[in-house]
Amino acid sequence: MTFLYILLGIILFFVVILSIRITIDAEYFDEFKLNIKWLFINIPVLPAKKKDKPQKEENPKKEEPPKEPEPNPDDQAEKKENIFVTFYNNQGFDGVIQLVNNAVSSLGKMFSSFKKHIVFRELYLFMTVTGGCDAAETAMEYGRTCQKVFPAMGYIVSNFPVKKYDVEIEPDFLGNKNSAQFAFSVHIRPIFFINAVIVLAIRLVFKVVLKFLKGIKNKSNKENINEGGAL
């Protein structure tokens, strides 16, 4: 009974720890900065601190022994057939497509179940668009930029929880260079990500890996039957 209490306590401890959110802060103004926070840990990822590399001492060159001739890759291919080629020869193009569809479907289900736990606390984007002192070209470039940026921002706001966001795109009729600045803060709870990965792994095992192995074995079984019939 004591062992059961200890086990439950360990599980509860990890559940609580993994339920604490990880915050990712990123911004680009003069330079790109990326910072990760979890509990009392603050990790500045970018810009990375440059470390002075110690100078390597020059060692005298050693005479290399004569190289042996490399084996012919064609001979190795004959000895051992590629398992992916074996699956394709056995299941055909339709079997490969079905396997890929199963993998993509599993990844899509993972993303759809996990994306609601990716919360944007802040999301800001500021852009200045110019056409090189040409008013007509600046107006056209401004329209093309709005056509690309606003639908992308709308997709993020519609598919993820976003608390604060703002987008500003301004035309610059006197400038010669486009500019962009952004900042966002997003937090994720690791327990939801781990759960999604475990579910994905189970789906891939049953829908992809087992079917792939079955497709390889089917061919070997057919070859054994044919050999037995010939004997």
Evaluate if pTM is beyond 0.85: no
Helices (H), 42-134: 73-79, 83-114
Average pLDDT over residues 77-100: 68
Residue 152 token pair: 């992308």
Angle at 22 between CA 19 and CA 24, to 5 degrees: 160
Is residue 129 within a helix (H) or strand (E), and if so which, with residue range?
strand 119-129
- Cα–Cα dist 19/13, whole Å: 10
pLDDT exceeds 60 at position 58: no
Choose the weakest-confidence range: 41-45, 49-53, 183-187.
49-53
Confidence of residue 231 (pLDDT cuts 50, 70, 90): very low
Q: How confident is the model at residue 225 (pLDDT cuts 50, 70, 90)?
A: very low
The C-alpha atoms of residue 83 and residue 216 are separated, in whole angstroms, by: 7
d(CA 88, CA 95): 7
Q: What's the whole-number average pLDDT of the chain?
A: 77
